[in-house]
């Protein structure tokens, strides 16, 4: 469980949000969650999702608060609640209008992926055959995101686009939910070159518990997962790593279809799944939902991380990143 000197932060979830989910966050001692509020929604549709979250904050104000700054994590912790930070898994809410970057930040968005699995107006997704890198608009949007405090997230982006985003961005970027490809070669997982460049620039990676990103998928063990974290820490340092579970709890399989297909095709794109298993895979038994965050802390200590290092990975690294990332760009 967390305390006033240590925070537990999950830098990506997309659950079927309910009082049950929020109560489980509290049971697991989770102080902050970066919640996906957009996959393929355009601006007005995203505003409707914000309206829904405002209703959640009203109805469940004993469990959750709207997070906008790192100070809100302190406030949530002190009051026994969880701070929810908004994020987009695609750049669709800004449409083709750079002015909407600041509007989205004003509405509470703190992370935005430059692309999902496909090519966007800004960057290339990891499922495209070719990756021409960051586009002309992408360079301008990164500059604007840096200015207002909207974090560049390259979790679903292709290799060249990700490396260019790290180079172009004047502020550290994030890969909120992915694992190293040296451990499991999923298209969404990241190369050594990306992870090293990310760490060298002050960026962060959040390790994913989504079974398609795991070696052994649903059968991956806690020891295997935590050993992977230890090997990554040896390569890029413990200061650059955290958790981004990609928990998709209680979602119907129709949501998988929306995530993968949106409105861009008339056929089913199974992505990291398969035709025989198109829905959500089972989570590992040791991480069913938010109640199992203490299992991660135990697993990290069991593979050799100290108490302080475990606290860093479980949330304090993300806390420091949030402190430096969500406000206006500071002048040189």
pLDDT digits (tens, 9 = 90+) for 97-140: 999 999 999 999 999 999 999 999 999 999 999 999 999 999 99
* Contacts of 254 by beta carbon, 8 Å cutoff, 6+ apart: none
Q: Is the pLDDT of residue 203 over 60?
A: yes
Q: What gap in Å lies between CA 120 and CA 177, rounded to an integer?
A: 19
Q: Which residue has the tokens 């190369």?
A: 191
pLDDT value, residue 2: 41
> Model confidence at 257, in pLDDT bands (50, 70, 90)?
confident
323 backbone dihedrals φ, ψ, rounded to 5°: -55, -35
DSSP at 329: P
The 3-state secondary structure of 188-226 reads CCECHHHHHHHHHCCCEEEECCCHHHCCCHHHCCHHHHH
pLDDT value, residue 278: 62
Look at residues 279, 321, 258 and name the one whose alpha carbon lies nearest to residue 116.
258
Q: What gap in Å lies between CA 130 and CA 111, rounded to an integer?
A: 25
DSSP at 261: H
pLDDT value, residue 171: 98
Q: Is the pLDDT of residue 253 over 80?
A: yes
Of the chain, the percentage scoring pLDDT greater than 70 comes to 95
| pTM, two decimal places | 0.95
- Mean pLDDT value across residues 66-84: 98
Q: What gap in Å lies between CA 27 and CA 291, rounded to an integer?
A: 6
Q: What gap in Å lies between CA 295 and CA 14, rounded to an integer?
A: 20
Domain 9-325 is in which class? alpha beta
pLDDT value, residue 80: 97
Look at residues 45, 38, 41, 187 and name the one whose alpha carbon lies nearest to residue 111.
38
pLDDT value, residue 88: 98
> Three-state SS for 104?
helix
Q: What angle do helix axes 136-148 and 159-168 make, rounded to 10 degrees?
A: 50
DSSP at 292: G
pLDDT value, residue 274: 47
> Model confidence at 259, in pLDDT bands (50, 70, 90)?
confident
Considering only residues 139 and 266, tell me which one the structure prediction assigns the higher pLDDT: 139
Largest CA distance in the chain: 54
pLDDT value, residue 275: 46
Burial class (CB in 10 A: 0-12, 13-18, 19+), 190: buried
> Model confidence at 270, in pLDDT bands (50, 70, 90)?
low
Look at residues 218, 144, 139 and name the one whose alpha carbon lies nearest to residue 184.
218
Min mean pLDDT across 75-89, 216-230, 266-280 is at 266-280
Q: Is the pLDDT of residue 94 over 70?
A: yes
């Amino acid at each position: 469980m967390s305390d006033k000197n240590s925070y537990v932060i999950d830098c990506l979830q997309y659950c079927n949000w309910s009082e049950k989910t929020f109560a489980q966050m509290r049971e697991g001692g989770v102080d902050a969650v970066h919640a996906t509020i957009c996959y393929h929604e355009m601006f007005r549709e995203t505003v409707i999702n914000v309206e829904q979250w405002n209703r959640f904050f009203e109805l469940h104000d004993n469990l959750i608060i709207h997070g906008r700054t790192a100070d809100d994590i302190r406030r949530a912790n002190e009051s026994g609640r969880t701070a929810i930070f908004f994020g987009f898994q695609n750049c669709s809410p800004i449409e083709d209008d750079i002015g909407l970057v600041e509007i989205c930040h004003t509405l509470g968005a703190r992370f935005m992926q430059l692309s999902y699995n496909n090519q966007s107006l800004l960057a290339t997704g990891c499922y495209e055959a070719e990756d021409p890198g960051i586009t002309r608009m992408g360079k301008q949007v990164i500059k604007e995101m840096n200015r207002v405090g909207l974090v560049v997230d390259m979790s679903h982006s292709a290799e060249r686009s990700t490396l260019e985003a790290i180079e172009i961005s004047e502020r550290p970027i994030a890969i909120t939910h992915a694992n190293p490809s040296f451990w499991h070669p999923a298209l969404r997982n990241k190369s050594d070159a990306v992870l090293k460049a990310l760490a060298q620039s002050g960026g962060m990676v959040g390790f994913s518990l989504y079974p398609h990103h795991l070696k052994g998928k649903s059968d991956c063990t806690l020891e295997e997962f935590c050993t992977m974290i230890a090997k990554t820490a040896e390569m890029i340092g413990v200061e650059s790593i955290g958790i981004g579970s990609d928990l998709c709890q209680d979602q119907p399989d129709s949501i998988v279809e929306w995530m993968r297909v949106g409105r861009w095709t008339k056929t089913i794109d199974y992505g990291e799944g398969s035709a025989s298993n198109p829905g959500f895979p089972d989570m590992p038994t040791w991480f069913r939902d938010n109640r199992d965050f203490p299992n991660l802390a135990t697993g990290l200590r069991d593979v050799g991380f100290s108490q302080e290092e475990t606290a860093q990975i479980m949330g304090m690294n993300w806390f420091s990143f949030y402190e430096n990332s969500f406000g206006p760009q500071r002048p040189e």
